[in-house]
């Protein structure tokens, strides 16, 4: 297919062989200016306040106040984001709240060196993992397809499916943390095998993300980094 | 670690060797009753209206009205969800709006048989893929780490990283579709290699999800399937 450039306000031109074009954000679109840029949220049904809370003003935090995060807040987050969609309604994500001093120490020792101070500062650290045996719950969560579990006999196929769907669930969880008025600091840099041995000794869960959760300190957020503009991300066929 | 059961309202007991317990939603917690169950959204900073729009009342759609989805709506979605977090601010997700009759036909022919009627019904179908060369934009989107690109010389490492982060971005996109007042119908069942050959002939993008987008028809949604309760998902260490 050949590439054509379009503006978002144009009709999509019909091209032989379904031409493939890009949406233009602005004529010189490139990388977006850092910072929320749409006060009015045109085209959204979501309120500007909610758009700011979840996306536009929300921001990854690296340092936190000492204000604690309660189990009730985690319950509220779960009760919200559990409704978000996954393939086959599979729910492989598991969340381990690392609360005791011993568990915190064991986790922080397994973080990349550059992540330790961030985690030390967080009132709550959570390990996100996926359950290799998520398929055992498919008969419960997908009752209209009672044979769905049978397609997951091989652990490798389960790991691949769980990895994708738990990544989506992790994204929903981060949005949920913000919905609770908290800030998240997700970190991928840690010794996954070491964390799994320590926290999931039965070998049935695989960690993939550690998330600091709390109220951001006044100086706890870096300047926002640029985002790719529309024309770099969206094309039309 | 040994497992202990907790209730969410209890303080977390200190256990030697950082005991590992589960949060209880209710004494007989198991699989949640289908349907939104928290009218008041206790513990959330998010308004009940936004919680319903994005999560609690939102619902995957399988049949749509003919009302079109404009490029302006896609722009509004992108301008919202582009702010959501990814690892290293990487932005590998690419969105292909399949608008022309020829492109729709080519895509629908590559869907699993059970997904074709759903897609036929949708006013807009989008292919979600990741860009194998996303690392080329790292100097732009992560300006404070100018050497970050160097860590992605191997395409296999890029594919793994892009797969995880584009799954998170896909989740944000689905939330964004709902934020625009639309319904999404994500589908994983399609011929990915065939779609890639047809839509991404340069071999630099890998499709992983097809999403129907529009306004749901009156009978376009199945009854909501159960979600795992808190105690099945969240534990405490």
CB-CB under 8 Å, B143 with A56 = no
Tell me which of A221 and A182 has the higher pLDDT: A182
Q: Report residue B22's pLDDT band, with 50, 70 and 90 as the boundaries.
A: low
Is B150 exposed, middle or buried, given 0-12, 13-18 or 19+ CB atoms closer than 10 A? Answer: exposed
What tokens appear for B121 in the block? Answer: 């019904």
Contact A168, B171 (CB under 8 A): yes
Per-residue pLDDT tens digits for A192-236: 999 999 999 999 999 999 999 999 999 888 888 999 999 999 999
Mutation target vs A (from B5, B29, B45, B151; most A CBs, 10 A cutoff): B45
Percent of chain B whose pLDDT exceeds 70: 83
Phi first, then psi: give them for residue A51, nearest 5 degrees: -60, -40
* Portion of chain A with pLDDT greater than 90, in percent: 78
ipTM of the complex: 0.88
- For residue B29, the model assigns a pLDDT of 43
Pull the structure tokens for residue A195.
Answer: 């964390």
Residue A23 pLDDT: 63
Q: Are strands B93-98 and A234-236 parallel, antiparallel or unpaired?
A: parallel
B23, B76, B89 member nearest A225 (Cβ): B89
Mean pLDDT of A121-137: 98
Query: How many residues can be counted in chain B?
Result: 237
Q: Is the pLDDT of residue A103 over 80?
A: yes
Most A CBs within 10 Å: which of B139, B227, B232, as the mutation test of the A interface?
B227
CB contact under 8 A, B56 and A230: no
C-beta atoms of B225 and A142 within 8 A: yes
Q: Which tens digits make up the pLDDT trace of B59-117? A: 999 999 999 999 999 999 999 999 999 999 999 999 999 999 999 999 999 999 999 99
Examine the pLDDT at B8 and tell me if it is beyond 50: no
Give A84-100 pLDDT, tens digit per residue: 999 999 999 999 999 99
CB atoms A233 and B58 under 8 Å: no
Q: What is the pLDDT of residues A39-61, one digit of tens each?
A: 556 789 999 999 999 999 999 99
Residues of chain B with C-beta less than 8 angstroms from the C-beta of A143: 225-226
Closest chain B residue to A105 measured between Cα atoms? Answer: B18
| Per-residue model confidence as pLDDT tens digits over A7-20 | 433 333 333 334 45
B160 contacts: CB under 8 Å, gap ≥ 6: none
Rounded to the nearest 10 degrees, how much is the dihedral formed by the CA atoms of B155, B157, B161, B166? 20
- In angstroms, rounded to a whole number, what is the distance separating the alpha carbons of residues B165 and A31? 19
Kindly determine whether residue B98 and residue A233, on different chains, have CB atoms separated by under 8 Å.
Answer: no
pLDDT at B212 over 70: yes
If you measure CA to CA, which chain B residue comes closest to A93? B233
Which residues fall within 8 angstroms of residue A59, CB to CB, at 6 or more apart? A183, A216, A221, A224
């Amino acid at each position: 297919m050949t590439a054509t450039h379009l503006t978002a306000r144009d009709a999509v031109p019909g091209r032989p062989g379904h031409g493939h074009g890009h949406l233009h954000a602005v004529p010189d679109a490139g990388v977006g200016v850092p910072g929320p840029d749409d006060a009015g949220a045109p085209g959204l049904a979501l309120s500007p306040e909610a758009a700011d809370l979840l996306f536009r003003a929300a921001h990854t935090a690296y340092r936190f106040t000492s204000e604690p995060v309660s189990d009730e807040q985690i319950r509220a987050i779960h009760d919200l984001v559990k409704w978000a969609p996954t393939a086959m309604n599979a729910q492989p994500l598991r969340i381990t709240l690392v609360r005791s001093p011993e568990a915190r120490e064991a986790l922080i020792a397994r973080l990349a060196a550059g992540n330790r101070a961030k985690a030390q500062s967080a009132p709550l650290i959570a390990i996100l993992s996926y359950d290799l045996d998520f398929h055992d719950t498919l008969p419960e969560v997908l009752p209209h397809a009672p044979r769905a579990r049978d397609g997951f006999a091989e652990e490798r196929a389960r790991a691949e499916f769980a990895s994708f769907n738990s990544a989506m669930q992790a994204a929903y969880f981060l949005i949920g943390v913000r919905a609770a008025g908290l800030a998240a600091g997700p970190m991928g840099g840690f010794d996954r095998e070491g964390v799994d041995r320590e926290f999931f000794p039965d070998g049935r869960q695989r960690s993939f993300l550690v998330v600091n959760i709390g109220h951001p300190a006044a100086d706890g957020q870096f300047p926002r980094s640029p985002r790719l503009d529309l024309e770099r991300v969206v094309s039309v066929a």
